[in-house]
Structure 1
Amino acid sequence: MHNSSWLPDVFEDFFNTGFMPRANATAPAINVVERDKEYTIELAAPGLRKEDFSVNINDEGNLNIKMEQKNEKKEEDKKAHYLRREFNYSKFEQTLILPDDVQKDKIKARVDNGVLYVDLPKMEESKTKVQRQIEII
């Protein structure tokens, strides 16, 4: 069996276990917090700005969160007469089904210290009880 990896098999076995997560697994962590009057979604996004996000309600009434970041570094070395470029591109999209008690027209989002927060206010429960006589027919 031919192994095209530059790592010896011993190292390959070490890195491909459940003890060490894969380096290319870049999906951000998502927390959902429930409070009395709202839900809050927290999405870890270190180094990203609000311009890197898109948050919307799709046609089916679900919350869609998109994140896209493009970085390009250029270095010129005048002695060697070459241009070196390093590209970094990250993209993530997650659709969440919203609970029935969310006021979809009052959802707000903000980015603070590397975390995207999406606040989902709950509908106020009707405190008035409806009493009525039901006619028997």
Structure 2
Amino acid sequence: MAAASTTFGPPSSPLLLNTIRISPPPLTLTPTPPCSAFFPSSTRLPVVRAIGKPRSIGNPSKSKPSESSEQKWVAKGLITESLPNGMFWVRLENGDVVLGYVSGKIRRNSIRMLPGDKVKIEVSRYDSTRGRIVYRIGSKDV
């Protein structure tokens, strides 16, 4: 019997020793407009428009402004005293004195109000002692 010799190490086959390394071709960049590079004109899809009645915008569960304005009445008045946090004592044309607070639109536009200014105020029918000041009447609006 012949003794089998086992050798450890690299294979002795000439085909495996001579490996060929293939390098990638050099990269060439060509300038193209950005719109044609990302969105070629041949692959554009046609624009499809919906046909039918337009969807309503807003939350249908909320009440309409006309319904909420039925609960209030608008009166003109004169600011008599300024209080903190945008609140004022307002004497209405009928002689009543109500506590008026500034509406959000007036606050956002930083409209300055001082004692002696004429204003429009929305007074609730349920609580006639408080109201929201919605408009400052200027000297040319009188």
Q: Give the TM-score band, short-chain normalised.
A: under 0.3
Q: Which has the higher helix share?
A: 2
The TM-score normalised by the length of structure 2 is 0.20
Greater relative contact order, per chain length (Cα 8 Å cut-off, separation 6+): 1
The TM-score normalised by the length of structure 1 is 0.21
